[in-house]
Amino acid sequence: MRFSYLLLLAGLCAGVSPARAASDPVTGTPARAIPTVRRHLIYFTNKTGTPFSLSQPGAFLSARALQRRTRQGIALKPRDLPVNPAYVAQVKAVAGTRLWYTSRWFNAAIVSCDSTTLAQIRTLSCVQGAQTLNRGQGGPRQPEKEPVAPAERPSSAPADYGIAYNQAQMIGAVTMHNANFRGEGMQIAVFDAGFPSVNQMAVFAPLLQEQRLISTFNVVDKNTDVFQRNDHGTLCLSTLAGNQPGVFIGTAPKASYRLFITEDIGSEHPVEEANWLVAAEYADSAGVDVISSSLGYSTFDVPSANYTYADMNGRTAISTRAATVAARVGMLVVNSAGNEGNSAWRYITAPADADSILTVGAVTAQRNHAAFSSYGPSADGRIKPNVVAQGQQAALVYPTGPGYGSGTSFSCPIMAGMATAFWQSSPTLGVQQVIQFLQRSGSLAANPNNTLGYGIPNFVTAYNLANPSTPLAAASALPAAEALAVYPNPSREEALFLHLSPAFRGTPLRVRLFDARGTLVRELQLAPAGAAEVRLPALPLAKGIYTCLVSSGKAQQTVRLVKL
């Protein structure tokens, strides 16, 4: 995978070299070479004779998975049936074979074995073919570099969101949260390279305390330990599930989550796409609603496995085929477009080329195309990306605290959280209707292109399109420039500024600060100001959370301030 993340400081792992024939130290005679063991995708001929039945789906799909299908009118098909256990047993019986996983959708098994054993497996009558998933030496992957760009001062924001306000407000997520759609009752699966410190960070405390982290699965190592490896997953998850008022709020702070490690950053082979497939089938069977995947594939450690742009046609790459089936069974797949906009490749990477999924590109805080964000179309001419969200200088929470990062890796989960809560607000929609309404709400809906797709979606617009008889008022969906705010926030400084909405400009203001116990700690009288920015007198405040009440002759509003 080429991370859709541009500030990656990857832990580099040495690849495993093919075994070489050593010489006897006395005679000099070459010793027998140790066969190289690789992973392979073994395709079966059919599902004939399987003990599983579409009339008894509870044997392989959860009640929640079945409810998702029923709600969207999706019929069960033979692809939903598990592989024939008898076929799996035949493969396992070949000496030297280790079974890793099976795939319902591909009617296949993932095994590891050497080439001699693979040849034996190919002779089985139940086997249709095989695809090798990793070859040669897996060299360490060099981290991608962030494109050079001037530092941006984050937009002023209501204190609850901290530095995450602009990216949430841009797509209408603040209004969405105020309308009580925060992802409650929805399940999101996050596929990534690791989630270190998630079980220790304050921003995720509600997720753990409220038992909304439902499951974890490390597909790479075949265990449940995901709080390890690369922190790319931690950063992506923060934009979704972060919930620390006064510091950071993600776009789906009340959803439930299932975390998957599918990516091994130590090397790059198609086996990671097979891991994506395994995770998607797990998510399907568990009843997940939305998959957020900030992953992309185009080139590999062995050039012969590389894709070409012509392969970005929605039906070639393993991960693309898996994402397409995931959409067909009723899950909303949200995938990053990729960071190839400045590279020779330029275009989207797999599985962003899949049809029926929501591919997300990146814009700046000023709503302009981020230069690194991959371009469309797909090789067969479909508009990609579908939509965009902030990805340059996006707000994140690192294990060490809040910060910024750039990449479509972050615009993807920011958008996935909004899409999840939008679906929560309109639960009778099918997954393709969700995508259509989000596209129709986009800033370029009337004239989409292959740079920004349908543009920046907006929750209120999408909601009103989906619910014309009960529309939400758009008045509360003020852009950042029209919102009352105090900044910097959180603040370590005594100097503070007020960003005044139009209702507070040109009139005397009374500003009162209350501590967390409701005690008035400071009161200010401000002369009328026609400008939007007002510098407050130095305020020597103790650490804590404060409520700032701003009053004019006709309006009154509160915002929160966090003093660090």
Catalytic positions: 192, 232, 409
Please give the Cα distance from 212 to 193 (Å, whole number).
21
Reduced to 3 states (helix: H, G, I; strand: E, B; else coil), residue 271 is: helix
Query: Which residues does 381 contact at the CB level (< 8 Å), separation at least 6?
Result: none
Q: Cβ distance 409 to 3 under 8 Å?
A: yes
456's tokens: 């920046």
Please give the Cα distance from 248 to 153 (Å, whole number).
16
Sign of CA dihedral 169, 171, 175, 177: negative
Please give the Cα distance from 355 to 434 (Å, whole number).
14
b/e for 325-342, b at 16 or more Cβ within 10 A? bbbbbbbbbbbbbbbbbe
Nearest to 555 by CA among 500, 514, 475, 515: 500
Could you tell me which residues are beta bridge partners of residue 42? 109, 130
Please give the Cα distance from 2 to 374 (Å, whole number).
12
Query: Which residues does 460 contact at the CB level (< 8 Å), separation at least 6?
Result: 172, 175, 176, 472, 474, 477
Sign of CA dihedral 276, 278, 281, 286: negative
Q: Radius of gyration of the chain from Cα atoms?
A: 26
Provide the 10 A C-beta neighbour count for residue 25.
7
Amino acid at 282: Y
Q: Which residue has the tokens 């074995």?
A: 113
Q: Cβ distance 34 to 367 under 8 Å?
A: no
**Main-chain phi, psi angles of 529, to 5 degrees:** -130, 130
Q: Cβ distance 84 to 44 under 8 Å?
A: yes
Q: Cβ distance 272 to 300 under 8 Å?
A: no
Q: Cβ distance 340 to 364 under 8 Å?
A: no
Q: Cβ distance 69 to 329 under 8 Å?
A: yes
Nearest to 413 by CA among 326, 334, 531: 334
- From the DSSP assignment, how many helices (H) and strands (E) are in the chain? 12, 22
